[in-house]
Amino acid sequence: MAKIKTEDKELELEDGVPIADTCEQLGVPLSCREGVCGVCRIEVLEGMENLSPKTEKEEEMGLGDNERLACQCKINSGEIKIKF
């Protein structure tokens, strides 16, 4: 099992799955789910190494080193801590 934590909540999810739905349950806003609108931008405070590599859409978005789009990444295993 993998885990996503925020300041005051945490949820578990299966290894290797997209994080979008779990992030949404934690309060991250999602809209297009296609890496276009940018509303799902999250800051990864811990565990960036546990996420899949950045997608082409994320590269095009010009994210900071510690930022990802919640609709674009999968968690390999382990924990991440996010802020949004």
**Concatenated DSSP letters of 23-51:** HHHHT---SSSSSSS-TTEEEEEE-GGGB
CB of 78 to ligand FES, least distance (A): 22
Q: Please tell me whether residue 18 binds ligand FES under the rule CB under 6 A.
A: no
3-state secondary structure (DSSP) of residue 9: coil
Which residue from 30, 48, 74, 81 is in contact with ligand FES, where contact means CB under 6 A?
Answer: 30
Identify the residue among 9, 17, 25, 32 touching ligand FES (CB under 6 A).
32
Strand partners, 18: 74
Q: Is 69 in the site for ligand FES (CB under 6 A)?
A: yes
CA 6 to mean position of chain CA atoms:
11
Closest distance of CB 80 from ligand FES, Å: 16
71 binds ligand FES per the rule CB under 6 A: yes
DSSP 62: T
d(CA 58, CA 30): 15
Where does this chain bind ligand FES (CB under 6 A)?
A: 30-33, 35-40, 69, 71
